Structure 1
Amino acid sequence: MRRTVGLGLRREFLTDVLELEPQIGFWELAPENWFPRGSQAQRTLDRVREQAPLTSHGLSLSIGSPDPIDVGFVKQVKAFLDRFNIAIYSEHLSYCSAGGHLYDLLPMPFTAEAASYVAERVKQVQDIIERPLVLENVSYYANFGGELSELEFINQVAEEADCKLLLDVNNVFVNSVNHRYNAHDFIRSLPSARISYGHIAGHSEEYDDLFVDTHGADVKQEVWQLLAFAYECHGIFPTVLERDFNIPPLTQLLQEADKVVSCQTNYERRDVKAVSTDPA
């Protein structure tokens, strides 16, 4: 398994991880899922990171919330990152709180004012965690309108905040169907230098024009093809296979993660072939 291919670490197969020591490039986890679990959980994570590095993908930062940044929470995240030597902290370009927790990831209005607002909050978080904050493009099912496109909004936030991006390929695909835009143009127009890593996952197709990012199924062929295109545009970036529901045995997930390896290998082969046939 390549070092550039990761899996989301889930409690459903944690025992197998410890016993089988699977070959995986890295594990991704949500810090807040581990905060309340005590010293035994810390020892477990120490055993896991002996096998492969850890990266983190948060759930409750709520970077776009109208509420002030929860500085105490962010400091808790930083202590966790430091304790387990985690270089990357990623989160969703959305919000999940407004006068209380909303238990969902809600999209931002795509306006220049909102982008600047988020960028200032990103800077505040980055100052505390002493690392870049990596923001994920999210799936959304209602468009609140605004003067910017989704792509323009993301690029403005990244530029003003000087932060990194997490390219979720499945979210691009789902949004392109639900909101009728060209997924290839979207991916092509992202700034390569800001892409820290990526996600790929399965989704459900409720109707012809309504796809839902469930993380509860195998990755569809169209999404694999879009991942290959993303590598062609931006080069190979570390990529996590996400699975949050209907979780199969770890061995089955590892087989699906091997498809990420295949995408990366195929890109490298085409790249080497292009170089070898270049008359220059």
Structure 2
Amino acid sequence: MQINKLGDIGLGLRREMLDDFLVDTPSEAQFFEVAPENWLKMGGKYGRQFKQLTDKHKFICHGLSLSLGSPAPLDIAFVKALKQFFHEHGIELYSEHLSYCSGTGHMYDLMPIPFTQEAVMHVAKRVKQVQDILEQRIALENVSYYAAPGQQMSEQAFTLAVLEEADCDLLLDVNNIYVNSINHGYDALEFLKAMPTKRIAYGHVAGHYQEEEDLLIDTHGAPVCDPVWQLLRQAYQHHGVFSTLLERDFNIPNITELQSELSHIQHLQKPFLGQVKGVA
């Protein structure tokens, strides 16, 4: 089942939510998102429960380990396994991070790709290869990062160049824009407006942790803060309403609190529903 790009509201599904959601899923969420790596080989009780949910609800996948910026060869067997998983569960939208997590081994973290023209071409080639195998477009997420080794381009220029060269879609993470704007001292709204409207597949919002006044850590472990809500409103104002998902990876609150944040997304979307998106 495919999400409606013009306004569906989603929630990241975590394993601890399974039992509750099998009884009653929050009506505020029209779709759910999972990391396929966490479910690919899942059998038994959890596997059966997951299939029950994907048979009834819209699901999309947000990957963790495709490692698009890695110098190591692309894991073709993994991509083929993803294709089978997507077919089994009716997954029509797949996104990944514009980062890497492997080299001679797996680092279990998302590392920044050097912002260079050489890296643009390298990543774009791998994205095209993935899209050819999957026989569907993928979306790349603008990621949070804390250092930029070998930087020759701005994050904005690098992101735009990869999207154009790879001819893929964008997962617009509003929280990551805000976090990076504080950590690296750029204008969040300027970055937001520069993103190509026509490529936005959907968006993310999440909470973060303030380590210092000028250092935010992208944790997905707290409520969405007011500046990020404001930036999401500005995103709808500039790009038109797009489907938006709430991420919460730990310190997961009760469902009432999650429902409140999902309802706030709907509240922010409402004034802009029906607005024609721009052509950026």
When the two structures are superposed, what TM-score results if normalisation uses the length of structure 2? 0.93
Partner of 2:183: 178
Task: Please show how residues 14-29 of structure 1 align to structure 2 within 5 Å.
Answer: 14-23=18-27, 24-29=29-34
In the TM superposition, residue 80 of structure 1 has moved relative to its aligned partner by 0.5
**How far off is 1:14 after superposition?**
1.1
Ranked by relative contact order (alpha carbons within 8 Å, sequence separation 6 or more), the top structure is 2
Q: Give 2:149's aligned amino acid.
A: F
The 5 Å alignment of 1:260-275 reads 260-268=265-273
* CA distance in structure 2 between the partners assigned to 1:51 and 1:255 by the alignment: 23
1:38 deviates by 1.5
Give 3-state SS (helix, strand or coil) of 1:103's partner.
Answer: strand
Q: Is the 8 A contact 1:13 1:250 kept in 2?
A: no
Alignment match of 1:167 (pick from 157, 172, 193): 172
Larger Rg over CA atoms? 1
2:116 maps to which of 105, 108, 111: 111
Aligned to 1:7: 11
TM-score of the pair, normalised by structure 1: 0.93
Determine the structure 2 residue equivalent to 1:98: 103
Contact 1:58 1:89 survives alignment (8 Å): yes
- Over the matched positions of the two proteins, sequence identity in percent amounts to 53
Asked whether the equivalents of residues 177 and 211 of structure 1 are also in contact (C-alpha less than 8 Å), the reply is: yes
For residues 217 and 39 of structure 1, the distance between their equivalents in structure 2, rounded to whole angstroms, comes to 31
**C-alpha displacement of 1:39:** 5.4
2:59 corresponds to: 54
Check conservation: 2:139, 2:169, Cα contact below 8 A.
yes
The answer for unaligned runs of 5 or more in structure 2 is none
**Residue identity in the other structure for 1:58:** G
After superposing on structure 2, the runs of 4+ consecutive aligned residues of structure 1 that deviate more than 3 Å are: 39-42
Q: Provide the residue aligned with 1:66 in structure 2.
A: 71
Aligned to 2:135: 130
> Pick from 224, 239, 243: which aligns with 1:219?
224
Amino acid at match of 2:131: Q
What displacement does 1:64 show?
Answer: 0.4
Q: CA deviation at 1:43?
A: 2.8
Q: How many angstroms apart in 1 are the aligned matches of 2:230 and 2:121?
A: 33
Q: How many residues align?
A: 270
Match of 2:251 among 238, 246, 249: 246
- 1:20, CA displacement in angstroms? 1.5
**Structure 1 gaps, min length 5:** 273-280
Q: Secondary structure at the match of 1:35?
A: coil
Indicate if the aligned counterparts of 1:21 and 1:51 stay in contact, CA closer than 8 A. Answer: no
Q: CA RMSD in A?
A: 1.6
Quick one: distance in 2 between partners of 1:71 and 1:39? 27
Q: Which residue of 2 aligns with 1:80?
A: 85
